[in-house]
Homo-oligomer: A and B are copies of this chain.
């Protein structure tokens, strides 16, 4: 487990950040750096707002969702956090989150892990029962984060 997370952290460190046209910055993951990249950015920053793509909690060894749902919950939140940090923001800058979950019986378990990623106040959030998710995932998490300097005006 710890090893997997460290491996993931090492892989994440290589994520390239690409400043696109028109002032948009695209955060693109390792998969996007592959020969056959998938057609999405992990996040797009425009002005002071970061749109965070739907993230999965993938086991880097298999490319599928981690089999243990607690591990998966940590991996998906770590992955969201990584994208946010690549954009120069923090988890507490998230203002809105949507969690898609294939089993609402995991609600309390997910919440216990989710809480540890924030201080004091939480983003607005929706928690939706999805029929299915890609790669065998139990969770897909997306959100919007806003740079505090904007918030201060």
On A, residues with C-beta under 8 Å from B are 18, 20-24, 26, 28, 38-44, 46-47, 51-54, 92-93, 95-98, 100, 102, 104, 107, 111, 114-115, 118, 120-134, 140, 142, 144, 146, 148, 150-153
Q: Which residues of B contact A23 (CB under 8 A)?
A: 148, 150-153
| A95 adjacent to B142 (CB under 8 Å) | no
- What does DSSP make chain A's interface, helix, strand, loop or mixed? mixed
| A46 adjacent to B146 (CB under 8 Å) | yes
| A123 adjacent to B47 (CB under 8 Å) | no
CA distance A130 to B128 in the complex (A): 7
| A148 adjacent to B21 (CB under 8 Å) | yes
Q: Are A51 and B123 CB-contacts (below 8 A) given A98-B142, A115-B39?
A: yes
7 new A-B contacts, CB < 8 A, other than A43-B124, A129-B131, are: A23-B151, A23-B152, A46-B150, A54-B128, A104-B133, A129-B132, A130-B131
Q: Which residues of B contact A120 (CB under 8 A)?
A: 20-21
| A128 adjacent to B122 (CB under 8 Å) | no
Question: Would you mind naming 28 contact pairs between A and B with Cβ atoms under 8 Å apart?
Answer: A21-B120, A22-B148, A23-B148, A23-B150, A24-B148, A39-B115, A39-B118, A39-B122, A41-B121, A41-B123, A43-B124, A44-B121, A44-B124, A46-B151, A47-B151, A47-B153, A51-B144, A53-B126, A54-B126, A54-B127, A104-B132, A104-B133, A104-B134, A124-B142, A126-B140, A129-B130, A129-B132, A131-B131
